[in-house]
């Protein structure tokens, strides 16, 4: 399907479900961006879930978002259960503004929801020539080291930096072996997940996406990965005033209450301590790319490079719509308030 | 050997080598702390190296450290090749001061050296009821993903938070499978390293510490770990004005120039967005500790807990001195300027 057509369709669906024009636009842009970078688990496969949650008022279509400036650098946003995209869009814009004004910006968001890809927001700061560090928590998916029960989300660590070229450095890595979105995508499309990334609810290794969703995803690097996931839960949950310690609701499965996800954005100017950051980072990347390579490796890639390539390639094409998503779109567009 | 005796001895050695009284004290405290927490690779096994570098003026015993306040929150420190402990001590104190004043502090340090354990500095901020994020780069030890040549250091990610109890949450995790200090300790004591953590210089797996030091240490989690190490190099090297992209000198092997390590300290108040942080984090830890455990696991530990236990236990005992370190101490105390 043509991008412009999908954009129009998804926006109109969000409008039907009661989002404002701005909110519908922000949300459809984020979903389509996820499709274009190949992060299908964060794309259109989630549209139905968002609409279901709006219908049940677990996502507030007309939130009264409260913005509280703690200082010129520091801001708190209570998203009032807005759709995550809108809260995060506001948050990153505020974090950019704060950093531009004082050198460093910090924005904490509480009472938000799943916002898609952290890297999407980091990119916006990087475009304004800032470095960004972004943290968000998520519903239980990973067992803390030593436990057999999921509690941490896939809790991504995200870091973005300008590179002096048009392709930004965007590290956006979940702490699980693979993204929950990918497991969900596999489940929705009846595909298997790789071995070694998840256990079923009895603690046995599984490649069945459905069983994995009911079981435990494995963190990277054992105790270290578990510690990093814990750090993200503290920064985005405990610190921001959002849910934490496994209390963030699963948007697909738990319709008892709003998700109450927390996000933390930290942004700063690249030239605080050096006046030639672009030159320095260009050098850094050039040297690393010039290292001797493992046989069969064509190019040493920096984080974000592959995603950018996919984005560029996919931007020229129509977006492939699976049968299931087609069915979702059909059902949702016929929704009458 | 009694702690007080070692403390006196090590301080006197540093004084002989030309450090100021304050610098000698800070440095001996850091080395002894590393012994007490069981991080032997960052302890007395490094004393001789520090002294050798001071003697060759690769560490400046009387540095003219330049402190430049960029704003009330942001400070740059040019350490003028000071011993890393002194630069980091100054840096964390400044970062604490900035955060206490404005809510958030950021201190970048250039022209510094190896400072031991990041967690040691995070603890100081946590004692002042602040959250701390600390990054430092290090000499080449890990190959970027796709390359067969070491370039990134073990580049730890460090995060500290108050817990409402006397045991702080201190995540201090290198991005290599094991610390370079541990490999060095194994080499010095003719011990083997675990399998799967390093390759020799030909790219073959090895458990020989000597071969591993000449080869490549493996990052955690492949491309993800490599990306995290790259992030740390950007934050602590490119951004601070220090060496980066593999140019930080190995303190044991490269006596051509000062190390030029970079550090970045970010600190912030726990109560910026919530007024009950201690209560929230206590809850967080209590819930996670209460999860069902894997068979054989007695307690789910948070990062820093084990280290604290070792510190408490070792603080009551004499410090064990290996033959090699005894020899080092003997040689160094007889040094005459």
A40-86 pLDDT per residue, tens: 989 999 999 999 999 999 999 999 999 999 999 999 999 999 999 99
pLDDT of residue B337: 60
Counting beta carbons within 10 angstroms of the beta carbon of residue A23, is it exposed (0 to 12), middle (13 to 18) or buried (19 or more)? buried
Interface of B with A in 33-62 (CB under 8 A): none
Chain B residue at shortest CA distance from A228? B171
What share of chain A has pLDDT > 70, as a percent?
Answer: 99
Chain A residue at shortest CA distance from B197? A221
- Assign A135 to helix, strand or coil: strand
pLDDT at B69 > cutoff 80: yes
Choice among A9-18, A260-269, A314-323, B189-198 with the minimum mean pLDDT: B189-198
pLDDT tens-digit map of B150-161: 999 999 999 999
Residue indicated by tokens 């814990």: A230
Interface of B with A in 128-187 (CB under 8 A): 131, 143-149, 151, 157, 159, 161, 169, 171, 173
Interface of A with B in 92-131 (CB under 8 A): 102-104, 106, 108, 110, 131
pTM of the predicted model as reported, rounded to 2 decimal places: 0.94
Strand partners, A69: A75
Rounded (5°) CA angle A225-A230-A231:
95
ipTM over the 0.85 cut-off: yes
* A66/chain B closest Cα distance in angstroms: 13
| pLDDT grade for B182, boundaries at 50, 70 and 90 | confident
Residues of B in Cβ contact (< 8 Å) with A161:
234, 238
Rounded (5°) CA angle B283-B291-B288:
30
Chain A residue at shortest CA distance from B202? A294
Chain A residue at shortest CA distance from B163? A234
Residues A81 and A57: their CA atoms lie apart, in Å, by 9
Q: Which of B231, B273, B281 to mutate to test the interface with A (most CBs of A within 10 A)?
A: B273
A102 contacts B73? CB cut-off 8 A: yes
Residue indicated by tokens 């970079």: B262
pLDDT of residue A295: 78
Rounded (5°) CA angle A309-A270-B250:
90
pLDDT of residue B310: 96
Dihedral over Cα of B303, B192, B145, A178: its sign: negative
Chain B residue at shortest CA distance from A300? B146
A288 contacts B151? CB cut-off 8 A: yes
pLDDT of residue A216: 84
Residues of A in Cβ contact (< 8 Å) with B297:
146-147
Q: Which of B159, B238, B296 to mutate to test the interface with A (most CBs of A within 10 A)?
A: B238
Of A103, A274, A288, the CB nearest to B144: A288
pLDDT of residue B295: 78
Residues of A in Cβ contact (< 8 Å) with B275:
none
Residues A109 and A121: their CA atoms lie apart, in Å, by 14
Interface of A with B in 291-330 (CB under 8 A): 291-294, 297, 299-303
| pLDDT grade for A89, boundaries at 50, 70 and 90 | very high
> Using CA atoms in the order B303, B308, B314, B319, what is the torsion angle rounded to 10 degrees?
70
**Contact B181/B41 with Cβ under 8 angstroms?**
yes
* A335/chain B closest Cα distance in angstroms: 39
| pLDDT grade for A198, boundaries at 50, 70 and 90 | confident
pLDDT at A34 > cutoff 80: yes
Residue indicated by tokens 């540095």: B63
Half-sphere exposure of A202 (CA within 13 A, CB side): 3
pLDDT of residue B31: 98
Please state the rounded mean pLDDT for residues B171-198. 88
- Residue A190 tokens read as 């009846």
Residues of B in Cβ contact (< 8 Å) with A171:
227-228, 230-231
- Residue A90 tokens read as 């506001």
User: What mean pLDDT is reported for chain B?
Assistant: 95
Residues of A in Cβ contact (< 8 Å) with B239:
131, 270, 272-274, 277
A104 contacts B73? CB cut-off 8 A: yes
Chain B residue at shortest CA distance from A304? B227
**Contact B289/B132 with Cβ under 8 angstroms?**
no
pLDDT at B215 > cutoff 90: no
Residue indicated by tokens 């009846």: A190
pLDDT tens-digit map of B291-322: 998 878 899 999 999 999 999 999 999 999 99
Of A110, A270, A272, the CB nearest to B70: A272
Chain B residue at shortest CA distance from A293? B147
pLDDT of residue B86: 98
pLDDT of residue B296: 85
Please state the rounded mean pLDDT for residues A303-325. 95
pLDDT of residue A195: 86
Residues of A in Cβ contact (< 8 Å) with B169:
230, 234
pLDDT of residue A337: 60
What share of chain B has pLDDT > 70, as a percent?
Answer: 99
Q: Hey, which bits of A15-128 come out as E strands?
A: 66-69, 74-78, 104-112
**A266 touches B at CB < 8 Å:** yes
Please state the rounded mean pLDDT for residues A176-200. 86
User: What mean pLDDT is reported for chain A?
Assistant: 95
- Helix (H) or strand (E) segment spanning residue B11: helix B3-16
Of A246, A270, A301, the CB nearest to B287: A246
pLDDT at A336 > cutoff 80: no
* B43/chain A closest Cα distance in angstroms: 22
Residues A46 and B72: their CA atoms lie apart, in Å, by 44
Number of helices (H), then strands (E), in chain B = 11, 9
pLDDT of residue B165: 96
pLDDT tens-digit map of B25-52: 999 999 999 999 999 989 999 999 999 9
| pLDDT grade for A108, boundaries at 50, 70 and 90 | very high
**A209 touches B at CB < 8 Å:** no
Residue indicated by tokens 């000449």: B214
**Contact A88/A121 with Cβ under 8 angstroms?**
yes
**Contact B51/B335 with Cβ under 8 angstroms?**
yes
B143 contacts A76? CB cut-off 8 A: no
**A270 touches B at CB < 8 Å:** yes
Residues of A in Cβ contact (< 8 Å) with B287:
151, 245-246
Q: Which of A99, A234, A237, A296 to mutate to test the interface with B (most CBs of B within 10 A)?
A: A234
**B239 touches A at CB < 8 Å:** yes
The b-or-e profile of A134-143 (16+ CB within 10 A means b, else e) is bbbbbbbbbb
Please state the rounded mean pLDDT for residues A133-162. 93
Residues of A in Cβ contact (< 8 Å) with B296:
none
Question: How many residues in total does chain A contain?
Answer: 337
Please state the rounded mean pLDDT for residues A268-291. 98
Rounded (5°) CA angle B182-B188-B192:
60
Of A151, A171, A268, the CB nearest to B106: A268
| pLDDT grade for A8, boundaries at 50, 70 and 90 | very high
Closest by Cα among A178, A175, A173, A177 to A225:
A175
CB contact set of B158 (below 8 Å; sequence gap of 6+): B118, B119, B121, B122, B132, B133, B134, B135, B170, B171, B172, B173
pLDDT tens-digit map of B113-152: 999 999 999 999 999 999 999 999 999 989 898 888 999 9
Q: Which of B110, B132, B234 to mutate to test the interface with A (most CBs of A within 10 A)?
A: B234
């Amino acid at each position: 399907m043509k991008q412009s057509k999908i954009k129009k369709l998804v926006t109109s669906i969000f409008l039907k479900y009661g989002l404002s024009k701005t909110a519908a636009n922000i949300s459809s842009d984020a979903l389509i961006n996820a499709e274009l970078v190949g992060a299908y688990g964060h794309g259109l496969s989630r549209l139905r879930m968002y609409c279901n949650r709006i219908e049940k008022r677990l996502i507030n279509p007309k939130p009264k978002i409260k913005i509280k400036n703690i200082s010129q650098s520091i801001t708190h946003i209570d998203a009032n259960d807005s759709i995550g995209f809108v809260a995060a869009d506001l948050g990153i814009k505020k974090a950019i503004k704060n950093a531009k004004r004082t050198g460093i910006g910090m924005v904490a968001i509480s009472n938000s929801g799943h916002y898609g890809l952290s890297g999407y927001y980091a990119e916006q700061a990087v475009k304004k020539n800032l470095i960004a560090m972004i943290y968000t928590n998520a519903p239980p998916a990973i067992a803390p080291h030593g436990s057999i029960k999921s509690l941490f989300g896939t809790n991504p660590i995200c870091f973005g930096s300008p590179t002096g070229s048009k392709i930004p450095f965007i590290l956006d890595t979940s702490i699980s072996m693979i993204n929950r979105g990918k497991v969900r995508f596999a489940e929705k499309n009846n595909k298997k997940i790789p071995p070694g990334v998840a256990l079923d609810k009895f603690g046995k290794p599984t490649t069945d996406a459905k069983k994995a969703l009911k079981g435990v995803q494995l963190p990277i690097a054992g105790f270290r990965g578990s510690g990093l996931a814990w750090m993200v839960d503290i920064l985005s949950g405990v610190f921001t005033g959002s849910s934490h310690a496994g209390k963030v609701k699963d948007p697909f499965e738990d319709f008892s209450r709003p998700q109450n996800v927390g996000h933390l954005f930290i942004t700063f100017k690249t030239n605080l301590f050096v006046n030639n950051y672009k030159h320095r980072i260009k050098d850094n990347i050039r040297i690393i790319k010039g290292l001797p390579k493992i046989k069969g490796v064509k190019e040493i890639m920096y984080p974000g490079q592959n995603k950018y390539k996919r984005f560029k390639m996919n931007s020229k094409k129509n977006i492939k719509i699976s049968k299931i998503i087609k069915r979702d779109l059909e059902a949702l567009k016929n929704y009458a308030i």
